[in-house]
Amino acid sequence: MTATAAPTKTILRALAGEVQAVPPVWMMRQAGRYLPEYRATRAQAGDFLSLCYNPELAAEVTLQPIRRYGFDASILFADILLLPQALGADLWFVTGEGPRLSTLSDAEGVAALKPTEAIHETLSPVYETVKILARELPREVTLIGFAGAPWTVATYMIAGRGTPDQGPAHAMKAAEPEAFDALMARLTEATTEYLSAQVEAGAEVVKIFDSWAGSLKGADFTRYALEPAQQIIAALKARLPDLPIIAFPRQAGDQYIGFARATGADCVAIDNSVDADWAAKHVQVDGCVQGNLAPHHLVEGGPALVAETKRIVKAFSKGPHIFNLGHGITPEADPENVHRMLEAIRG
Ligand code: 1CP
C-alpha cells in the first residue's frame, strides 16, 4: 500500500474518517476468561504472566476470538503492567485477586528505574507475539497494539495494585510533585518507545488505555491525562505519520469533548458512563469514536442487549464509528451473547 492509497480494512477505514453502513467491531478484553479456550491455554501456559511472555500461546489466545466471532480487529494479548516490569518493578498476579507490583513513592524509587533502552530486553517476547500475529491473522483483520497511559500505569506503580480511587498516586502527586513529574516523564518516554517497537513488529494501530483518567479533575486532567497523550501521539506521528491512534481516557465525562483535537488521536474510545447520543453530538464531531456498550449486557443478554446494541449503532451512524464495549468484557459474560450482539450489529 502506498502512503496515498485509501485503506481497505474496515477498522482502518473508520479510523480514516469513513462512515460505514455497518460499523466494524471488536471488544476490549476479547481474549479473556469468559472464553473456555482462553482458560485452557492459560492453564497450559501455567499462569497469566507466563502466557503474556509466551509468544506462541499469546498469539494463540489473540486469535481465538477472531476464529470464534470474526471480529474486524484483534488486540495483541499482553498487559499494561508489563512496561513497569520492564522498567524494573516486581510484578506478580495473585489468582482471584489481580496484579501486584512493588511500590514506588519518592525520587529514589524513580531514579532506580531502568533506562528506557533497557525495556526491550524484557518486552521482546511481546514484539515476537506481534510478529506471529502479523503473519497469521486473516488479511481483513486489523492488528492493534497497546500500552497503558502514563497516569494509569503510574497509579499501579505507586500503589502496587489497583485502587478504587487512585489515592496513593494522588497523594504522591501532592507530596512529591517533582518525583511524580519525573515518573510521568519516564513513563511518557518509555510508552512511546514501547508502542514504536510494537509498530515496527507489525501492529497497524495503537491504543493508549487511560483507565483511571476519570479521577483526574480540571487542570490535573489536562496535565496528567491530556498532555502525556498529546506528547506520545506527537512523538509517534513524527516517526510514523500514517499510524492511526486510539485514545481511551476512561470516564473523562465532559473532558471527552475536544480530546481528539487536543491530543491528535484519530479515535476516542468512550466508556459507558456517557450517552451515545451525547457522544455523537459532542465527540464524534471531531472524528471516529469507539464504544460504548455497557459490558453487563453481555452477561444478561436478552432483548436489552439487542436494543442497546442497535441504539448505539444508530446513535453513531452519521459519523465514523467502531463498535466496542465501554470497558472490558467480564469473565461472567456468556459467549453466546457475543454472537447476539454481532447479529444485532451486522444483521
Ligand atoms: O486471569 C487472567 O487471565 C487475567 C485477566 C487479564 C487479561 C485477560 C488481565 C489481568 N489482563 C488481561 C489482558 C489485557 N489487559 C489486554 C489484552 C487482551 C484483550 O483486550 O483482549 C489488555 C488490552 C489489557 C489492558 C489492561 N490491563 C488495562 C487497561 C484496560 C482496562 O481494562 O481498563 C488495565 C487497567 C490492566 C491491568 C490489569 N490486568 C489484569 C487485571 C485484572 C487488571 C486490572 C487490575 C485492577 O485494577 O485491580
pLDDT at residue 77, rounded to an integer:
98
Host domain of residue 310: 10-346
In a domain, 1, yes or no: no
In a domain, 2, yes or no: no
pLDDT at residue 2, rounded to an integer:
47
Q: Which triple of cell numbers denotes residue 41?
A: 491455554
Residue 223: active-site member: no
Residues flanking ligand 1, CB < 6 Å: 28-33, 42, 48, 75, 77-81, 98-99, 146, 162, 209, 211, 328
Residue 275: active-site member: no
Report the nearest-CA residue for atom 41 of ligand 1.
98
In a domain, 4, yes or no: no
Pairing of strands 91-94, 98-101: antiparallel
Residue 340: active-site member: no
CATH number of domain containing 172: 3.20.20.210
pLDDT tens for each residue of 31-75 = 999 999 999 999 999 999 999 999 999 999 999 999 999 999 999
Prediction pTM value: 0.97
Q: Which of these, 268, 152, 269, 146, lies nearest to 208 by C-alpha position?
A: 146
Reading phi first (left if > 0) and then psi (alpha if -120 to 50, else beta), residue 17 is in left
What percentage of residues in the chain have a pLDDT greater than 90?
A: 97
SS (H, E, C) 145-157: EEEECHHHHHHHH
Q: Which of 13, 38, 42, 250 is catalytic?
A: 42
pLDDT of 3 above 70: no
Domain count, the chain: 1
Confidence class for position 96, pLDDT limits 50, 70, 90: confident
The number of helix segments (H) and strand segments (E) in the chain equals 17, 9
> How many Å apart are CA 107 and CA 118, to the nearest integer?
20
In a domain, 214, yes or no: yes
Decide if 242 contacts 3 (C-beta within 8 A): yes
Confidence class for position 131, pLDDT limits 50, 70, 90: very high
